[in-house]
Structure 1
Amino acid sequence: MPSLKEVRNRIVSVNSTQQITKAMKMVSAAKLRRATDAIVQMRPYSKKLTEMIATVSANAEGAKENPYTVVREINRVLIIAVSSDRGLCGAFNANIGKTTAGLINEKYAAQQEAGKVEILAIGKKAAEYLTRRGYKVNQKYADIFTRLSFPSVREAADYAMNSFAEGEFDVVELVFNEFKNVATQILRAEQLLPLVEKKEENKQKTTTADYIFEPSEEEIINELIPKALKLQVYKAVLESNASEHGARMTAMDKATDNAGELLKELKLQYNRSRQAAITKEILEIVGGAEALAAE
């Protein structure tokens, strides 16, 4: 049985840890509110822009000739993996790494063996996780969350889009966590490039809008598609940012509760040890008194 001093030191240590986890939960809650406000404002605009492009480009000749819609034989692959810069958020970052590795093994195993799969890491944890496992990782934009803004994310999106348009990559995939609520984040693996027609969405549409194009259909489509692609990457980063704070808030809440349970056990153990020590001292005193009386 540990001594009273050891148990007392553990109680102090766990109590300090509990205060830290409480503080981290409060900080994550404050950041989560700002992050959810940003993504809630972004979603309607992103959805409407995506619907507009799908409607306009369905039968447009300009869309078919756009460099971002060209379908090629898949030889070179770029995967954009969005994680976070910090840990202490449960399995949030590990799930991104596992999903990215699973996507490569399931769809691009041949390209990976040939060394033609590159991972563009957004977030330091994804870069660290995948680098340790031997994947080719581009860490140029891994620190985006230290300066999170549309211009900084646009740089990463431009790299992916330009590389695809120039033929350096034949397909671009996007892996991120979609924010649902504080306790739930949904892992998404979506094809960013080439742009393909989503048949399921088109089946649900019963009517199509009639647009008047000015200056021309081709110019408008060539202007909208790059904006939509950059917005899609930015939306994924915002989703991941909100998901990170939600995951950390949940993890710190559980850690605080676990620390509370551990404190209860340690205090009970301390009281038992203290009672045993007092009983032992009483027995020693009684034994000494009896020995003196016998003399």
Structure 2
Amino acid sequence: MASLKEVRARIASINSTQQITKAMKMVSAAKLRRAQENITQLRPYAQKLSQMLGTVSAGAETASESPYKQARTVDRVLLIVVTSDRGLCGAFNSNAVKGALALIDEKYASQARSGNVEIMAIGKKGAEAFARRGMKVNTTHVDTFSSLSFANVRAAAEEAMAGFAEGRYDVVEVIYNEFRNAAVQIIRTEQMLPIVATETAGSSSSINYIFEPSEEEIVTELIPKTIKIQLYKAVLDSNAAEHGARMTAMDKATENAGELLKELRLVYNRTRQAAITTEILEIVGGAEALANA
């Protein structure tokens, strides 16, 4: 049985840990509210922008000539995997990595065997996980979430777009955690390049539009912007999902610390009671020995 000093040290240590996890839960809850507002506001805009692109480009000759719509035989693949820069968020990061590995096994196994699958990691944890597996990580974007903005994400999107337009990649896919609520995050895989025609495009192709300033200028501006917004939405989704996962993980850790403290206090009281009983027995035994002397 552990000594009273050891049990007291463990109780103090777990008390300290519980205070830390409780504080981290509160911080994540505050950040989650802001992150949830950001993704909630962006989603309708991103959806409408994609719908507009599909509608406008359905009958636009300029859109079909865009380098971002050119479908090619898939030999070289770029996967953009969005994780976090920090841990302590449950299975958030490992789920994103597993989602990317599952996608490779299902769709790009032959390309992976040829060494033609590259990873662009947004988040340090993803980069570290793929590096440990010996996979090719061509770019790592860290500290994106410390000052999350469209400008930071745009740099990653432009890098992927340039690689696709130059023929270095034949397909670009994004893997990220979609935010549903604080307890639920769903792994999503979306094809970023080449652009896939939407279902509404066909029904809108017969409509005649008046373009101002011109069809070419509108489509040329709209396609790159939609691609960048698509990646930005994925990063915002992942950011909200990260804070939700961390809040849930820290809440569970706080509860577990409380349960462990109850057990340790019970052990402490039993050990203390046993020590007191032993001392009493020693005193009584000593007194009887003196009386019989």
TM-score by length of 2: 0.95
What is the identity percentage for the equivalent residue pairs of Structure 1 and Structure 2? Answer: 66
Contact 1:36–1:242 (Cα < 8 Å) also in 2: yes
The equivalent residue for 1:236 is 234
1:112-131 correspondence runs (5 A): 112-131=112-131
Q: In the alignment, what sits opposite 2:195?
A: 195
- Within 5 A, what are the aligned runs for 1:6-85? 6-85=6-85
Residue 269 of structure 1 is matched in structure 2 by 267
Aligned position for 1:160: 160
Change (3 A) 1:182 1:208: farther
Cross-structure match for 2:96: 96
Q: Name the aligned partner's letter for residue 155 of structure 2.
A: E
Aligned residues: 293
1:206, distance to aligned residue in structure 2 (A)? 9.1
Q: Does the 8 Å CA contact 1:68/1:165 hold for their aligned counterparts?
A: yes
Structure 1: segments with no counterpart, 5+ residues: none
- Measured against aligned partners, the alpha-carbon deviations of 1:45-80 in whole angstroms (never above 9, x if no partner) come to 111111111112223222211111100000100000
1:255 aligns with 2:253: yes
Give the Cα separation in 2 of the matches to 1:277 and 1:11: 18
Per-residue deviation, 1:109:
1.2
Question: Could you tell me which residue of structure 1 aligns to residue 287 of structure 2?
Answer: 289
User: Could you list the per-position Cα deviations for residues 133-166 of structure 1 after superposition, in whole angstroms to 9, with x for gaps in the alignment?
Assistant: 0110023423322332111110100000111011
Other structure's SS at 2:90 match:
coil
Contact 1:81 1:121 in 2 (8 A): yes
One-letter identity of the residue aligned with 1:196: V
Q: Which runs of 5+ in 2 are unaligned?
A: none
Residues in 1 aligned to 2:131 and 2:46: alpha-carbon distance in whole angstroms: 32
Distance 1:158 1:239 in 2: 19
Per the alignment, residue 226 of structure 1 pairs with 224
CA RMSD after TM alignment? 1.7
TM-score for the superposition, normalised by structure 1: 0.95
Deviates more, 1:151-160 or 1:284-293: 284-293
